[in-house]
Amino acid sequence: MLQVQNLRAFYGPAHVLHGVSFAIQPGETVALLGRNGAGRSTTAKALMGLVRCEGSILWRGQQLVGQPPYAIAQQGIAYVAEARDIFPRLSVHHNLLLGQKGTGPWTFDAVYTLFPHLKARQHTPGGVLSGGEQQMLALARALMGNPQLLVIDEPTEGLAPQVVEQVAAALRLLKTQGVAVLLVEQKQALALEVADRVLVMGRGRIVLDGSPQQLLSDAAVRREWLEA
């Protein structure tokens, strides 16, 4: 479904990703772990055409490298940025309306059922929502596009435990619907719970590609690349 080969990414002259390769199968949830600065968010941005990159990103046989972000999004890939990037002056409902496209299970009723706080505040401007509500809105807006692949960057950063659980519930539900997910996440417990496979990144490279069980049994990798 998604095949990344020898991906290199750059911010100006700075070389950030150094030959990253991995694949995601239909319906598979893959967690991308690593310390801050390892290149995880850059990988997500590279998939969406938001940074200059070289190498190959094949999505259902189509080359994404060189395509603009809007063209990538139109091919069934949704992106939830760490910054959330909601429209602060628009209501919750209108933010969701802007994300709506295609047909599928994710409708207004579906996202309001998953995130009841959003339904209660559907006429509220996005900019006055709490951080947790804004994260729910960013995720719900991405789901309204009924994507085949969801790329989500640090969805639980700074959120209260009950909001983290709602995000986890959404990820579990996506798995039952056959939506593939690339999850960039700092909370290892959450990532290992929802992921089918784990990628550990260090210094712009993939240093482990395996099951959650493999990571849990590899103390050396955890110590060198994940622990503070």
Per the structure block, which two tokens stand in for 200?
């550990």
The domains found in the chain, sorted by start residue, are 2-86+148-225 (3.40.50.300)
pLDDT for the residue 175 = 85
**pLDDT tens digits, 25-81:** 999 999 999 999 999 999 999 999 999 999 999 999 999 999 999 999 999 999 999
What span, in angstroms and rounded, lies between the C-alpha atoms of 6 and 198? 18
Per the structure block, which two tokens stand in for 152?
């989500």
pLDDT for the residue 227 = 84
The ranges of the chain with pLDDT < 70 are 228
Which residues, in sequence order, are CB contacts of 107 under 8 Å at separation 6+? 144
Per the structure block, which two tokens stand in for 227?
């622990």
Place of tokens 């910054």: 83
pLDDT for the residue 110 = 92
pLDDT for the residue 213 = 96
pLDDT for the residue 169 = 85
What span, in angstroms and rounded, lies between the C-alpha atoms of 110 and 140? 9
pLDDT for the residue 146 = 93
What span, in angstroms and rounded, lies between the C-alpha atoms of 23 and 25? 7
pLDDT for the residue 82 = 85
